Amino acid sequence: MVPAGALYVPGAERLVPHIAALTDFARQNGYPILSTVDTHLPDDPEFATWKPHCVIGTAGQQKLSSSLLQAGQYKVPSAPGVLETEVALEARQVLVEKEHVNCFANPNLDHLLDVLGADRFVVYGLATEVCVLEATRGLLRKRKVVELVTDAICGLSEKTGASAVRDLIREGARPTSTAQVTTRSVHV
């Protein structure tokens, strides 16, 4: 998100106000927030593909404060079978740890989605053609309605990001904007 980051996505800092607005909208209206968090060890196998980033315990692993709720968080580790269902249901923000670009590699995510019972997801973040692409495709495969907030995503390059957005729309994602999401009538 910031130029000093290990895997900085050019232009990502322009998303900060959009992410803050979407997070605040969810908080004000009681929508749960499902966030992903990269959790890499210093010798993570993913570093064969991507340079080291989001190493556990480093400043680079921290999420933007504007994307976090101050209370009601619950972390879902990527260890199999570690999901406290009741706690997850009560949480306002569920942080899904991931060691792979595809959040569905967390063995607890499928069960978490079943427990939450949501049919509609609003997706935003980084990077469009990597993590956003994988999360959106995973939700679409589960036959979820996915709204892709196009002014709250950013690709590694404009060309590959735009191509990923086109592919996701063809696959069923619905393009939307921060303003469209945050000004609609609320039905929780």
On whether both 39 and 99 belong to a single domain, the answer is yes
Question: What mean pLDDT do residues 91-117 have?
Answer: 95
Residue whose structure tokens are 């992410």: 19
* Residue 24 falls inside a structural domain: no
Task: Round to whole Å and give the CA distance between 91 and 71.
Answer: 9
Predicted structure pTM score: 0.94
38 and 49 co-located in one domain:
yes
Q: Sorting pLDDT into bands at 50, 70 and 90, what band is 84?
A: confident
For the chain, what is the domain count? 2
pLDDT at 188: 46
Q: How would residue 187 be classed by pLDDT, with cut points 50, 70 and 90? A: low
Q: Are residues 112 and 126 in the same domain?
A: no
Q: Are residues 123 and 166 in the same domain?
A: yes
- Helix 158-170 to helix 133-141 angle, to the nearest 10 degrees? 10
The last residue of a domain, from among 117, 132, 162: 117
The string of pLDDT tens digits covering residues 137-146 is 999 999 999 9
Residues 37, 96: one domain?
yes
Q: Which residues form the domain of 77?
A: 32-117
The residue from 70, 97, 117 where one domain ends is 117
Residues 78, 129, single domain; the answer is no
| Cβ atoms of residues 19 and 2 within 8 Å | no
In a domain, 188, yes or no: no
Asked if 44 and 107 sit in the same domain, the reply is yes
Q: Is residue 12 in some structural domain?
A: no
Q: Is residue 11 part of a domain?
A: no
Q: Are residues 75 and 133 both part of a single domain?
A: no
Q: Does 172 have pLDDT greater than 70?
A: yes
Q: Could you report the per-residue pLDDT of 11-54, keeping only the tens digit for each?
A: 999 999 999 999 999 999 999 999 999 999 999 999 999 999 99
Q: Please name the amino acid found at residue 49.
A: T
Phi, psi (rounded to 5 degrees) for 181: -70, -45
Residues of the chain above pLDDT 90, percent: 85
pLDDT of residue 81: 83
